Chain A
Amino acid sequence: MRFPSSSLFLCGLLCSVAGAADTVKVVVRTTLDEKPVADAVVSATPLDQSAPPAAADETFQIEQKDQEFQPYVTAVQVGARVNFPNRDTVQHHVYSLSKPKRFEIPLYKSGASETVVFDTPGIITIGCNIHDWMLAYIVVLPTPYFAKTDSTGAAALPPLPPGRYRLEVWHPRAPAPLVQEITSAPEQNAVLEFAVALKPDKRIRRAPGGKSSDY
């Protein structure tokens, strides 16, 4: 096995998953106070076989509402389509300068929407040109075996065919993704626990709705 980067490390059952499971569950917590980490993307990329392609018509949605992107983190398989509907009262100008996918949806009003195809794996950071605090991530993965942790920090991967996999855990505030090789075997369940040292949340705190009671 390979140890992860210094800030992400394994604990718990780790690679004793000699005859790993057909379902893999992952729990991610912070290193210091062991708080559950939500919005972490866990993915398993097969090493011995090629990953099955994404469904052709699979479309994800990142909406703009109350001057925020919803959801904050979206994981998709390569080739997926992501729709950006404006469900807000104000206009938005969605853009990305990330290398895997650079795009722009200039100012568009409520009710309008645009769809973008993501065909290169990688992390795409989404922003709004006129609202600095608006921020979203799209994790484009070369595998259909992925999941996002919920508020308890838990994520369950889809059933994995037997074989070796590269397990990767990514989070916007993790300095680097945690990578680990696992082997999946039938009729076996495993829970993998990860601890991640998160960087401080630097997201812009919005002024309270612009309705400052101070004025």
Chain B
Amino acid sequence: MALPSFQFHRFSTRLVCLLLGLLAGALGIVYLLIDRANRANAIDHIDQNLRNGALIFHQNLTERIDYLAGSAKVMSGDAAIKPLLQQEVLDAATLRTTLVSYTHRVKAPVITLFSPDGKMLASTDEVLGEENMRPFRHLIQEATDKDMEQASDYSYLGGKLHILVVVPLYAPFPNIAAWFGLAYPIDQAFAQAIKKTTQLEVTFVSSPKDGAPRVLSTTLSPAMAAQVAHRIGMDDSGTAGITQILTLDHEPYVSLYEKLPLLGEFPVHIALQRSLATEMAPAIQLQNSMLKISLAALAVACLAALWLARGLSEPVQLLARHTRLVAAGDYSQSINLPREDELGQLATAFNQMTAGLAERDRVRNLLGMVVSPEIATQLLKSDLKLGGEEREVTILFCDLRDFTSLSEKMPPTEVLALLNRYLDRMSTIIEQHGGVIDKYIGDAIMALFGAPVAIPDAAARAITAARAMGDALEDLNRQLTAEGRPRLTFGIGINTARVVAGNMGSKTRLNYTVIGDGVNLASRLETQTKEPAHQTLIIVSEATAVAAGVAKNLRFLGSMQVKGKSDSIRTYAVDVLPRPWQERT
């Protein structure tokens, strides 16, 4: 899969993105981990609370039973009721008001008096029908059978859940004259009391054999309690004793279900719950604070990254600008970057490099003046090694005639001035024609065509250059005549041959030049121009004439024996008009 790649044109953007990305990622992961830990912790905590709540609930019930039984025992020992029971005809109305009076003492809203055989004598609750007496009778039967001093259980009275307790009225002990049946409702108030102790939501749900579960009492809102009842109805078994998360009104509640067995009925379900949001409220507050701190840290990091990136990219941009200047050949600028770090070092190195380049440029210019630019380039290009390569080169030798005797008649400075004037003109022409000045040998010029840079028409160029030099000499002579100075005359020999071109000399001092037989021949040909019979200032070898392809335009001089050569050389004269030798003669 190809990922879309983002190209950041600016280094700073990349740095900022990287830093912020890393930080945001780290903070995000930390936040998520903390959130998960908090949630798990809250659930654990609630779970513990729920189990404690269940214990407290059961303890509450036990205490309530003990209290009821204890109070009932004291109550049953009250003498006031005994005269009533002694009367011939039982005064049920008075008995009932007496029981009402007892309800205040024992804080049980329902007190019923039964005869030892289970017949109801009086009850504080007139509307409780005979059908509600069954659980009491069951308990009385149980207590009688097992000879217990009290019996208790849970049951519905008038459709509402109650704790039932029966205690005997001894008259005298251990003769049981009657039974008190007390009832204490497990109602809304009871649920609220549990909630007050445990901070848990409490819901009691009946589970009739058929029909939907019914909420008996709850600390939740009716709608939420209905959802709890519905849930209990859905999975009646298997949920008891296990903590679950139940969503009520879009809010998660950690819930624990307990069962309360009833006397002769299906058990009542008790749901203990705590809102996860409430439990997590402090943690959420902490998380929110953390989020704010994280965002602030991100903002600070953003600024810091920008500052850092600018500190990095600005010098880089400066370096880039300077590099462009240097590339354009401007070595005059230097970078001012007073830093100790790598960038500072880079700037220093850059400045040193610029200085080095400027120095090299200066050397190159100087070199160009001392040697011809082509040779200078060649020198700079090559590794300045001794030795050379064999190549075909056209060598041009030009020597002033009788300059030694001329110079004897003139002061040396004037000689040098004249010589420089002459050499300058000739050199310019040679260079204009693609020739390279190899060296000046006193008043002689040695020039190369085809070295160090090979040119295809080197020989032709050399001949053309020689002609132009002849013309230039004529021009110079006219000026010299006008100045009242003596005229100059020269001879040019041109040969084309395969020679060795390269750097020659010692390891510390080199000359780019050509060496070979062909070089000497060029020099010899120049000497031949002194022969008046040839009537020419310029003599080229056949090799040059052939290479230039102009042999028919040249005047054949014939084969001549040249000093140092065993074979005779066919030579040609290049005529320049007007012929100086004619003028001279």
Contacts and interface: CB of A to CB of B under 8 A. Distances in A.
A, B in one complex: yes
Interface of A: 67, 89-91, 93, 106-107, 109, 129-133, 204, 206-207, 210-212, 214-215
B96 A210 contact: yes
Nearest to A89: B93
Contacts of A210: 96-97, 99-100, 124-126
Interface stretch (B76-84, B392-400, B474-482, B561-569): B76-84
B188 to A, nearest CB: 11
Interface in B377-423: none
Contact of B81 (A130, A212, A215): A130
A130 B97 contact: yes
A89 B95 CA distance: 12
Given A106-B83, A207-B109, A214-B109, 10 more contacts: A107-B84, A109-B91, A130-B94, A131-B101, A132-B101, A207-B100, A207-B104, A210-B97, A212-B109, A212-B125
Contacts of B93: 89-90
Going nearest first, the 5 A-B pairs with the smallest beta carbon separation are: A90-B94, A130-B98, A215-B125, A91-B94, A129-B80
A69 to B, nearest CB: 14
B54 to A, nearest CB: 27
Contacts of B104: 132-133, 204, 207
> Interface of chain A, helix or strand or loop or mixed?
loop
B158 interface: yes
B43 interface: no
Nearest to A67: B97
B127 A211 contact: yes
Contacts of A89: 93
A91 B81 contact: no
B494 interface: no
A18 B310 CA distance: 102
A170 B80 CA distance: 31
Contact of B101 (A130, A211, A215): A130
B485 interface: no
Given A106-B83, A215-B125, A131 B158 contact: no
B98 A215 contact: no
Contacts of B103: 207
B408 to A, nearest CB: 150
Nearest to A109: B91
B77 to A, nearest CB: 14
Which residue, A109, A207, A214, A215, has most C-beta atoms of chain B within 10 A?
A: A215
A130 to B, nearest CB: 4
Given A207-B124, A211-B127, A215-B157, A93 B101 contact: no
Contacts of A215: 109-110, 125, 127-128, 157-158, 160
B97 A90 contact: yes
B138 to A, nearest CB: 19
